[in-house]
Chains A and B, each alone.
Chain A
């Protein structure tokens, strides 16, 4: 089969054939649907947490163990990282690759510090006798917060991959699409965190 070599991907040849659909636009729409499914996923975890949070089976109670300063620091770091990911997109729209990569790097460092703080918080809780297997309530807490943390961690790996691609290929239609998608993802994780903060932590200590 004669496969005509396509000078594709790099500079997408628009208007090449009729009825051709903009792939970047479709990717973003697909990603929105993925986010909807992720919202459902988190909703189920939230529901589980709410149902089970008082089932401590006589073990330690989360609200008595929460250390708010750490949580506030996490919140602050994550919100800032969302802001810097926004700056990255701005830099991209101005065509500045170097700036774009730097802002992504800042975002990634902030994300990593968030994860580090979270891990520290988990270790503290486990020391206090509130571990994953202690009770239904503890399992629900670690699963819900941990799932968010896992999302952030995967986002970090992905972001590093994208920085490498940007270095190699610069800003093209394809890389632009990828950056748009990851910044959407990053903002989404921020929103989920706000819910975590209010439902798990603030309602917990009040």
Chain B
């Protein structure tokens, strides 16, 4: 009995590495602390009512962003571990097997559990406010999307201490990811973690498409929509077409591993190349999914902080739509070297290069917007400015990679690693940081102090170049990616050492940001933000900070791209909008079903990971019951009465 238990535990829990024991203890202590604190302060009810069951898009957005920053920390620690390992030749900090797990979890977490939720967080907080809506189209579904993402991410992270992490790279190419080469449970964690959160992402895409199509304020025609909203719209179109591909691809891989199918195996007719095509048909558009909203953020910020209308609005919109279309025709540039033949390679090389054109249009538009503007150097603007040179360099190295013959040299080298980090960090992460700083007062009702923010900015930026510029060089010298160690005779160590210093500088930058936020929370009463702290241009700045739960007491109009700016000009001339009577506001009720249903998904996923069919069936049955319960509930909304709106508005606006 005891022996059996011991054997089970030794397979179930990951053992044998001090780093993992450390993590287990840390996780244990954190959990106990959270439970103790919630119980001591009697906060369970508060947590349940205000957060776990909320359908308020602003709160959901905040939860997305918090989860994403925690994941940035986890992915960042992975990155630092890798850089430590590579700082010196013949290092023995991480053994090759562990190194494989670390780069796999780092890549997966950064893209799917950091960038995606950060982006969804910004969607949630801002889009309804920008289009003058009270909510998203399907608030219940929105909450469900969040919890699916969150529990999917938790399932993925669990692999670290239970069962073992995946180690076949962030896209899990077969045959490495097949049972024959990865017999452990790590790949199953990968599949189900992504699958569960992926369903949530698809639902979010649909939700925001309908929101933007149907819920814009009266007067807001398509070509009057704020730029961030446009970027969300084009992103959601890509999500709608790309995410089902991911769902099927992972499902087929799972059928291979779990049910003995032969889609991608090496025997009985399987075709691994089929997987590589499919995963990149999702994977390449995915890159644009995460970067387009950042473009939207930059457009808002450039125009606000230059106090000018965005230059070339229409060309910006078309550029974005063209990018979302083209993104589906470039996937094969990820495997030029895998024998597709010259014609196919040429086609994909050309489509890849074409994307540089609309991207270039956007960059010129931002520059022209700044030209002769009255520029203010607040932190959101600084991140935007830092993005531009970074993205130009990253984009140019990308064009180099898209030259198919040249790619035979660059393929899977550190040159590639430097390129994609330059666009992912310089474009995506900087963009979301800019957005977070920009909309922070709208989310939380107070301003962050700029001083620590500027320290964070400079350490991040200097660290970035110190880290990744040497990698281009070391890549050209022949260092390949996913390499866990190298010898003194290669001549790579100086560059690697410098690169590691840069990585740690970025880590310091992150700590500055944490300090800045902590400091802001401590002093938040004295940092109270006005409704319109940046002298903004779009509708979200017309309502108090933070926004009340119903957003707009009176439905606004959206006749101009910079509606709020125009409104301020009109008011300055003494033209006020006619008084409108308040009316009761229709709101969705909170619901515990999204949370509970996602927990059942988690249980089902966990069952599938370990091949415990009883548990998987139990979980799926729970999911089904939740769906039926939802279908049968009719009492899902309520009205906020007029006097309550009056009270809220008075207290938020100071009796205006």
Q: Mark A44-75, 1 if CB is under 8 A from B, else 0.
A: 11001001100111010000000000000000
Determine if B591 is an interface residue (Cβ-Cβ < 8 Å).
no
From residue 200 to 228 of chain B, which have CB atoms closer than 8 A to chain A? 202, 205-207, 209-210, 213-215, 217-218
- Give the chain A neighbours of B207 by CB distance below 8 A: 30
- Tell whether, in the assembled complex, residue A29 and residue B245 are in contact, meaning their CB atoms are under 8 Å apart: no
- State in angstroms the CA–CA spacing of A134 and B270 once bound together: 11
Chain B's nearest CB lies how many Å from the CB of A51? 6
Is B138 on the interface with A (CB-CB < 8 A)? yes
Given A26-B210, A33-B209, A136-B262, also A4-B631 (CB < 8 A): no
Is A41 at the interface (CB under 8 A from chain B)?
Answer: yes
Given contacts A21-B215, A143-B261, contact A41 B639 (CB under 8 A): no
Measured CA separation A112–B245 after assembly (Å): 29
Residue numbers in A under 8 Å from B270 (CB-CB): 52, 55, 136
Report the minimum CB–CB distance from A174 to chain B (whole Å).
7
Contact digits for B67-100, partner A, Cβ 8 Å, 1 yes 0 no: 0000000000000000000000000000000000
Q: B640 interface residue, CB < 8 Å from A?
A: yes
Contact-residue size bin, chain B (C-beta under 8 Å from the other chain) = 35 or more
Chain B nearest CB, measured from A136 CB (Å): 3
Query: Chain A residues with Cβ under 8 A from B641's Cβ?
Result: 2, 4
Q: Is the CB of B638 within 8 A of A44?
A: no
Binds B, one of A6-14, A77-85, A91-99, A191-199: A6-14
Contacts of A51 in B (CB 8 A): 271, 274
Q: Is A128 an interface residue (CB 8 A)?
A: no
Bound Cα distance from A137 to B271, whole angstroms: 11
Pick the contact of B638 from A3, A21, A169 — CB < 8 Å?
A3
Of the candidates B244, B247, B278, the one having the most CB atoms from chain A within 10 angstroms of its own CB is: B244
Q: How many whole Å from A88's CB to the nearest CB in chain B?
A: 18
Chain B residues whose C-beta falls within 8 Å of the C-beta of A48 in the assembled complex: 248, 252, 263, 274, 278
Residues of A141-156 whose CB lies within 8 A of B: 143
CB-defined contacts of A36 to chain B, threshold 8 Å = 240-241
Q: Please encode chain B, from 250 to 294, with 1 for each CB lying within 8 Å of some chain A CB and 0 for all others.
A: 001001000111110101111100100010000000000000000
Q: In the complex, A38→B584 CA distance in Å?
A: 38
Complex CA gap A38/B243 in Å reads 10
A9 touches B268 (CB 8 A): no
Residues of B within 8 A of A30 (CB): 137-138, 206-207, 210
Task: Find chain B residues with CB under 8 A from A137 CB.
Answer: 269
**A residues within 8 A CB of B240?**
33, 36-37, 40
Say whether, besides A17-B586, A20-B586, A48-B263, A29 and B634 are in contact (CB < 8 Å): no
> Cβ of A127 < 8 Å from any Cβ of B?
no
CB atoms of A139 and B244 under 8 A apart: no
User: What's the nearest-Cβ distance from chain B to residue A179, in Å?
Assistant: 13
24 residue pairs of the A-B complex, CB under 8 angstroms, read A5-B638, A9-B636, A9-B637, A17-B585, A19-B132, A19-B218, A25-B214, A27-B138, A30-B207, A33-B206, A36-B240, A36-B241, A37-B241, A38-B244, A40-B241, A40-B245, A41-B244, A44-B249, A48-B252, A55-B271, A59-B268, A132-B261, A134-B268, A135-B269
Instruction: Please provide the 9 A-B residue pairs with the shortest distance between their CB atoms, ordered closest to farther.
Output: A55-B269, A136-B269, A19-B555, A139-B261, A40-B244, A133-B260, A57-B269, A44-B248, A41-B244
